[in-house]
Amino acid sequence: MRLSTRAQYAVRAMVDLSLYSEGRPVSLKEISRREEIPLNYLEQLFFRLKKGQIVTSVRGPGGGYVLARQESAIKVGEIVETVEEQLSPVACLDEGDRSCRRGARCLTHTVWQGLGERIKGFLDSITLADLTREARTRPAGGGDNEKGVCQPTG
Amino acid sequence: MRLSTRAQYAVRAMVDLSLYSEGRPVSLKEISRREEIPLNYLEQLFFRLKKGQIVTSVRGPGGGYVLARQESAIKVGEIVETVEEQLSPVACLDEGDRSCRRGARCLTHTVWQGLGERIKGFLDSITLADLTREARTRPAGGGDNEKGVCQPTG
DNA sequence: ACATACCTTACTATAATTGTCAAGTATGCA
DNA sequence: TGCATACTTGACAATTATAGTAAGGTATGT
Ligand code: FES
Ligand code: FES
């Protein structure tokens, strides 16, 4: 039941982008340095995030990425769903799956279905604004992890 | 965010055990045949389930496994937690993890923590009795999956 | 004794994930 | 125009986790 590190990275990167962008584009190089995420890996993530219309890109020197919408209109659930292949706990919940008959026949299906709904519901109840608001009111104290995010390995 | 098939198997097997046991022990061979789960794999699962004190075993001919408690006292969350290595969505939530400092510093931690609590809370709100009750009131109609469970691959 | 059925460890194959590499395209600026 | 920046995209290797197999052992009822 682990979240992929991709998803954790993506949320961290989005928080970083949101915190450091003041209207201007933020380059992946910056994010990579601050968050200690491999640049090439970030590129893959943002490729997906762009397709998911969560960010837009500006090419060329001085370019980078910008939020596609306001912080308050970007849900954590969206970010996770965009970079993860599937957010649902079991395969039969996915769109287009026909391998087992649902409905009244399957006892356990409703359990996993309910679980999936809770997960999505919870993650969709939190926006980027919720996360950055906290960071802004709390001026970065010292320490090696000053912006308040951490490695997914721990 | 996928549940392991181990967990799905385990819940299915426990439902099966619960449905077919009428006080007497149920052998893994039976469950294996009905649920089409490899016997050796079931043995591994029940090894864990026994350690988790969810079932007890009776050895020798005519032996098998019995629920350690009443159906209504066995939560789905317990079963999943017992056979999965970890139920929490990120590593830093696990017991004994010291790799990153929690508390006020980490912005995203509270999100994953909240998520983990929802997941566990939901799965703990459902008991084996909830699942079998439904099956008992609905006398097995024909079909190839008569007891109302299905393969995790679909 | 013998058959049943649980107990336990070890191992392998397969898939998913993580992360790297490399080559390309668009753009701003001197 | 030429160059540096930085996004774009696909392919791929390394690592890890999972699923499943195998085999031998132990307890117990008949
Ligand atoms: S149909 Fe979804 S778990 Fe059975
Ligand atoms: S301390 Fe848990 S996610 Fe950062």
Residue A63 domain boundaries: 5-85+128-137
How many angstroms separate the Cα of A20 from the Cα of each of A11, B13, B15? 14, 51, 51
Q: Which residues of chain B have pLDDT under 50?
A: 102-104, 141-148, 153-154
- Mean local confidence (pLDDT), A26-49: 96
Q: Which of residues 69-128 of A touch strand C (CB under 7 A)?
A: 85
Would you say the C-beta of B113 is within 7 Å of strand C? no
Nearest to residue A107, comparing CAs of B75, B135, B35?
A: B135
Q: What's the gap in Å between the CA of A41 and the closest CA on chain B?
A: 19
Percentage of chain A exceeding pLDDT 70: 82
CATH number at residue A65: 1.10.10.10
Q: Are A104 and A77 in contact (CB under 8 A)?
A: no
> Does residue A94 sit within a domain?
no
Q: Tell me, rounded to whole angstroms, the distance of Cα A72 from its chain centroid.
A: 14
A140 has a pLDDT exceeding 90: no
A154 has a pLDDT exceeding 80: no
pLDDT at B92: 82
What letters, b where the CB count within 10 A reaches 16 and e where it falls short, cover A125-148? ebbbbbbbeebeeeeeeeeeeebb
Q: Do A89 and B3 touch (CB under 8 A)?
A: yes
> Does residue A142 sit within a domain?
no
- Please give the protein residue whose CA is closest to the C1' of the nucleotide C25: A59
Q: Are B39 and B30 in contact (CB under 8 A)?
A: no
Residue scoring higher pLDDT (A25 or B139): A25
- Model confidence, pTM: 0.90
**Count of domains in chain B?**
1
First to last CA, chain B: 16
Q: How many CB atoms are located within 10 Å of the residue B52 CB?
A: 15
Dist. CA A150 → ligand 2 center (Å): 6
> Does residue B101 sit within a domain?
no
pLDDT at B93: 81
For chain A, give the mean pLDDT. 86
Q: Tell me, rounded to whole angstroms, the distance of Cα B154 from its chain centroid.
A: 18
Q: What is the pLDDT of residues A121-130, one digit of tens each?
A: 999 999 999 9
